[in-house]
Structure 1
Amino acid sequence: MPQVVINDFHDGVNSYKSDMNTNLYQFLADLNLIDAPCGGVGCCGKCKVRILNQDFTLHNTEKEFFTEKELSQGWRLACLHGVETDITLELSPKEVISEIVSDGYLRDFVKKPHISKTLDQNGNTLLMAGDEVIGQEQGDTRNRLFGLAMDIGTTTVVASLIDLLTGQELTSISCLNGQKNFGQDVITRINYAMTQTKGTLILQKTILQDLRNLIEGILTQCRGNYPLTPHDIYDISIGANATMIHLLAGIDPSSMGKSPYATAFSGPLVMNGSKDLKLPVSEHCLVYCLPAVSAFVGGDITAGILACGIHDASKNVLFIDIGTNGEMVLSKNGKFYACSCAAGPALEGMNISCGVRAAKGAIEDVQLVGVGKDIAVKVSVIGEAKPTGLCGSGLLSAVAELARTGILHKSGRLLEHPLVERVAGKKRFIIDQDNEIYLTQQDIRQVQLAKGAILSGIQTMAQANEMTFSEIDQVMVAGQFGAHLKAESLTGAGLFPQELENVITYVGNTSKSGAYLCLLSSEEREAAEKIAKKISYIELSHLDGYDSLFVKGMEF
């Protein structure tokens, strides 16, 4: 068996055995050492490794992602090579999201947890789920009743420990979703489940390990303050998109990957955390997954509507979660329409030449100062560190500034300018020459695709409600993406209509907030289920004239 020696910036030098002809990307992904937006199919250029002990065959594709100097130094794309002999390689520094958003807007509500405890006539404790007895414990254990509110996102996972007796959030912990090794978006992961042997099982195993690690991390944090044990965790409430819930439960998501794009089940999903999912929790622990609206408007959106109280609002409200998918709901007089548009991973810093996640060193804002040929570039960097690349907010602000200053044509074409250079016949805008950070013409095309998708989705929602943009009273932007984003970047880059700039607010992680509500109130669970049924879903691809609307939306 070939030996793979890996020089990792974080873990030092380690050696592993590999089967002959194993794909190098898959080998590294299985070790959780690398990931790529495309899931390792050779089109994103993110699985960069440096081969130190031999000269790997150069693929033409690799010339698009490396300079001549980098190629001569041995840098290659792992997904394009197999392990045939002993190999020594070096990995790029891992990206870590430094500020995973765990808090979100939360309205007032009446606390009445779904799980409770009461004493029987013999002085033993009965565990209740609503009015139903689901377990019995010896003695009086009523003072120990905890639950977890979770957000399982495509990119990140957040878990918060909640005291069900007081409603207090005691601690919160988060991580990257380990499934990123198999692709950055739900479509790629659905495809993996459909095409790979035991694909669904592998993806389930990955997310369950993430949850176990988070729960064990919470247990470790609590030692010394209140000695929490796994047996004290009786309830888990989860906000997540439909794909994440299918994979969590080990349910084949294939039905969402082909027309008519339907989920394998409807309504909320309830499982036993210990018996069904093998999590370190009480044997009686129930896991409640908020119901989805459709295959691509999930329980995380239901959670957001619930947490923000949009279902009871008298205003016209647009709720939108911008990630690899742009999921949105528009309410008017108690009537709801929803849609989902494929924004792609560009807005999370992926599929971009110098794209990175929102971590220390990521450029989060770009300003062009001056006029004409005298324009200079000013950047703001997360953590005030050396710039490493552009995260999603930096990408949008850069595009917005290029459009404002006229360097970018309305068609999306970079025009001639001292800061626009040609490399290998392709244009790119120089953002930070010292640190080799730039924005290519292809990067801008990726933003255009996201822009066309999101803007056409908003336009469709308004048309369905027979509204003008000026009639929208409030826009709520949820999720990780909005943490570093200015409203003027959203409108300046053309993702949102200009009329909405002054009514945009950021509401944070409302997926977890909605899960928190459902953890602490049976009535809120009922409300969530009513919300999911009440929302009318519009499949954009089925609408007459949508293609034209999408193409028009790509213009700056």
Structure 2
Amino acid sequence: MPRIIIKNGADIDRVYECDPEDNLYHFMTGLNLIDAPCGGVGCCGKCKVKILEGNVIPADAEKEFFSEQETAAGWRLACLHTVKGELTLELEPEEVIGEIISKGFLKEFTKKPYISKHLDELGNTLVMAGNEVIDREVGDTRNRLFGLAIDIGTTTVVAALIDMSNGRELSSMSCLNGQKIFGQDVITRINYAMIQKNGTLIQQKTILTDLKNLIAKIIAECHREYDLTANDIYEVTVGGNTTMIHLLAGIDPSSMGTAPYTPGFRGPLILSGINDLQLPVSKNCLVYCLPSVSAFVGGDITAGILACSIQQNPGNILFIDIGTNGEMVLSKGGKLSACSCAAGPALEGMNISCGMRAANGSIEEVKLRGDGADISVAISVIGNEKPKGLCGSGLLSAVAELNRTGILRKSGRLLDHPLVEKVAGKKHFIIDQENDIYLTQQDIRQVQLAKGAILSGIQAMVQANEMTFGEINQVMVAGQFGANLKAESLTGAGLIPSELEDVITYVGNTSKSGAYLCLLSTEERATGEKIVDEVSYIELSRLAGYEKLFIKAMKF
């Protein structure tokens, strides 16, 4: 069997055996060594490896992603090559991910957990699930009642340990979602489940590994102070989009990949932490997954509605979770409507020439100073390190500034300017000449597609409710991406109408906040289950005139 030898600086070489004719990308994703937004279909250019030894003939498709010098130096896209013999290669440096947002807005509420403990007449402890006794423990163990509130996002996973006797959060751990190796958005992961043998179960195993690792770290951290063990974790609540919950449960999501895009279930879903998921929790632990509105408006949005209580607000509230899948809810005096749009991974820094995740070294903000031909570029970099690329917030701020200064036409075309260069006949806006960081016309096109999807979704819901933008009292922006953005970038790049800039607020990780609510309140669970049946879901693809609305929304 051919050997794959991976060199990374001064580290000891890693050596693996590979079946001949294996696709190099799929082999390396199986070892969690590499990932790509497109899931390895050759269109994003992110699965870069440098061949140090071995014969790997350049593919024609790689010309779009590498210069002649880079190709000569051995750079290749792993997804475009099969293993013919022994290879020695080098990977790009691993990204040091910036802070994953775990805090989110949380309303006041009355605590009454579904799982509770009570003393019986003999001084022993009854463990109750609702009104049912599920266990009897010797002695008074009422102070040993812990739960987990978990947010499973497409990009990140957050788990928080909660003392259910008083509602205190004792620890929080987070990581990137390991399913990223199968693609950066839900559509590519659904597609992986559809075309790959055991694709659903492979992805289930991946997310369960993430959860087991996070829970193990939480237990280790809290064992000394609280004497915490896995047996003390009696309940888990999960907020996540519909695809993530299907994959967590090992339920095939394929029905959401083709019209009419129906989920296998909408929830709520209750699983056994031990029997169904093999998590390190109590033998009686139940896992409650918040219910979904539709295939693409999931339990994470239900959680956000609950956490922010928008359905009880007498005003008009727009709630948006901006990510690879843009999900939004409009509350018109408590009447809820929702829609979703495929914003794509560009806003996460993916599918962008110099794009990267929000990690140390990524440019998070771009400012253009001066005017006319005398414009200069100022940047802010996460971690104050040498710039390596653009994350989503940096991308949007750059486009907003290009729009503000008139370097960008309404059509999205770059105008001639001293900072706009032509490379191989294509225009590049130079952000950092020294570190070769730039924005291409195709990158701007990716932003336009995301902008068109989100803005047209907002417009469609406002029109469906016979409202104007001026009647919206507040815009709540949730999620990991929104936390790193300024209001002027959202409106300047055209994702959100400029009329709403002064009413934009950031509410953080409301998916985890909603999971926390449902961990500690049976009343909130019941409210969430009622809400999903009352939301009016707007399927944009079936809306009359939506195509024209989308095309118009793409203009700057």
Pairwise same-fold verdict (TM > 0.5): yes
State the distance in 1 between where 2:38 and 2:387 align: 24
State the distance in 2 between where 1:536 and 1:201 align: 32
By how many angstroms is 1:128 displaced? Answer: 0.5
State the distance in 2 between where 1:98 and 1:262 align: 35
Contact 1:10–1:93 (8 Å) recurs in 2: no
Q: Report SS of the residue matched to 1:365.
A: strand
Contact 2:102–2:172 (8 Å) recurs in 1: yes
State the distance in 2 between where 1:341 and 1:32 align: 29
State the distance in 2 between where 1:64 and 1:351 align: 13
Q: Kindly report which structure 2 residues correspond to 1:515-526, keeping only aligned pairs within 5 A, or say none.
A: 515-526=515-526
Q: Which residue does 2:79 correspond to in 1? A: 79
Q: Which residue does 1:244 correspond to in 2? A: 244
Can you list the C-alpha shifts for 1:227-282, whole angstroms capped at 9, x where unaligned?
Answer: 21000000000000000000000001011111111111133000010111000000
By how many angstroms is 1:359 displaced? Answer: 1.3
Q: Which residue does 1:38 correspond to in 2? A: 38
State the distance in 1 between where 2:483 and 2:60 align: 38
Q: Report SS of the residue matched to 2:252.
A: coil
Provide runs of 4+ in structure 1 moved above 6 Å. none
- Which residue identity lines up with residue 323 of structure 1 in the other structure? G
Contact 1:161–1:169 (8 Å) recurs in 2: yes
Q: Which residue does 1:400 correspond to in 2? A: 400
State the distance in 2 between where 1:300 and 1:240 align: 4
By how many angstroms is 1:226 displaced? Answer: 1.3
Q: Which residue does 2:293 correspond to in 1? A: 293
| 1:155 counterpart = 2:155 | yes
State the distance in 2 between where 1:545 and 1:467 align: 18
Contact 2:223–2:229 (8 Å) recurs in 1: no
| 1:389 counterpart = 2:389 | yes
Q: Kindly report which structure 2 residues correspond to 1:124-523, keeping only aligned pairs within 5 A, or say none.
A: 124-523=124-523
Contact 1:327–1:341 (8 Å) recurs in 2: yes
- Which residue identity lines up with residue 463 of structure 2 in the other structure? Q
By how many angstroms is 1:118 displaced? Answer: 1.4
State the distance in 1 between where 2:220 and 2:106 align: 27
Q: Which residue does 1:538 correspond to in 2? A: 538
State the distance in 2 between where 1:105 and 1:337 align: 21
State the distance in 1 between where 2:167 and 2:363 align: 38
- Which residue identity lines up with residue 206 of structure 1 in the other structure? T
Once the two structures are overlaid, the 10-residue window that deviates more, 89-98 or 120-129, is 120-129
State the distance in 1 between where 2:383 and 2:36 align: 24
State the distance in 1 between where 2:485 and 2:313 align: 26
Q: Report SS of the residue matched to 1:489.
A: helix
Q: Report SS of the residue matched to 2:331.
A: strand
| 1:64 counterpart = 2:73 | no
Contact 1:9–1:92 (8 Å) recurs in 2: no
By how many angstroms is 1:156 displaced? Answer: 0.2
- Which residue identity lines up with residue 56 of structure 1 in the other structure? V
- Which residue identity lines up with residue 75 of structure 2 in the other structure? W
Contact 2:365–2:394 (8 Å) recurs in 1: yes
| 1:4 counterpart = 2:13 | no
State the distance in 1 between where 2:318 and 2:77 align: 41
Q: Report SS of the residue matched to 2:225.
A: coil
State the distance in 1 between where 2:455 and 2:101 align: 25
By how many angstroms is 1:447 displaced? Answer: 0.2
Which runs of no fewer than 5 residues in structure 2 stay unpaired? none
State the distance in 2 between where 1:234 and 1:348 align: 35
By how many angstroms is 1:546 displaced? Answer: 0.4
- Which residue identity lines up with residue 276 of structure 2 in the other structure? D
State the distance in 1 between where 2:485 and 2:333 align: 30
Once the two structures are overlaid, the 10-residue window that deviates more, 503-512 or 5-14, is 5-14
Contact 2:473–2:503 (8 Å) recurs in 1: yes
Percent identity, aligned pairs only, is 71
Once the two structures are overlaid, the 10-residue window that deviates more, 383-392 or 445-454, is 383-392
State the distance in 1 between where 2:188 and 2:266 align: 22
By how many angstroms is 1:440 displaced? Answer: 0.4
State the distance in 1 between where 2:115 and 2:157 align: 23
Report the count of equivalent residues.
Answer: 556
The alpha-carbon distance between structure 1 residues 98 and 114, as it changes in their structure 2 partners (threshold 3 A), is: same
Q: Report SS of the residue matched to 2:491.
A: helix
Can you list the C-alpha shifts for 1:433-467, whole angstroms capped at 9, x where unaligned?
Answer: 11110000000000000000000000001011111
Q: Report SS of the residue matched to 1:387.
A: coil
Q: Report SS of the residue matched to 1:219.
A: helix
State the distance in 1 between where 2:121 and 2:73 align: 76
By how many angstroms is 1:121 displaced? Answer: 3.1
By how many angstroms is 1:55 displaced? Answer: 3.8
The alpha-carbon distance between structure 1 residues 484 and 10, as it changes in their structure 2 partners (threshold 3 A), is: farther
State the distance in 1 between where 2:531 and 2:310 align: 10
By how many angstroms is 1:529 displaced? Answer: 0.7
Can you list the C-alpha shifts for 1:168-191, whole angstroms capped at 9, x where unaligned?
Answer: 000100000000000000000000
Q: Report SS of the residue matched to 1:311.
A: helix
State the distance in 2 between where 1:387 and 1:135 align: 56
TM-score (norm 1): 0.99
By how many angstroms is 1:523 displaced? Answer: 0.5
Contact 1:9–1:91 (8 Å) recurs in 2: no
Q: Report SS of the residue matched to 1:549.
A: helix
State the distance in 1 between where 2:519 and 2:194 align: 33
Q: Report SS of the residue matched to 1:355.
A: coil
State the distance in 2 between where 1:353 and 1:221 align: 40
The alpha-carbon distance between structure 1 residues 145 and 460, as it changes in their structure 2 partners (threshold 3 A), is: same
CA RMSD, aligned part only? Answer: 1.0
State the distance in 2 between where 1:487 and 1:416 align: 28
Contact 2:291–2:298 (8 Å) recurs in 1: yes
Q: Report SS of the residue matched to 2:122.
A: coil
Contact 1:269–1:288 (8 Å) recurs in 2: yes
By how many angstroms is 1:122 displaced? Answer: 3.2
Q: Report SS of the residue matched to 1:223.
A: helix
By how many angstroms is 1:10 displaced? Answer: 9.3
Once the two structures are overlaid, the 10-residue window that deviates more, 221-230 or 43-52, is 221-230
The alpha-carbon distance between structure 1 residues 445 and 521, as it changes in their structure 2 partners (threshold 3 A), is: same
- Which residue identity lines up with residue 246 of structure 2 in the other structure? H
State the distance in 1 between where 2:463 and 2:422 align: 42
State the distance in 2 between where 1:423 and 1:60 align: 19
State the distance in 2 between where 1:126 and 1:300 align: 32
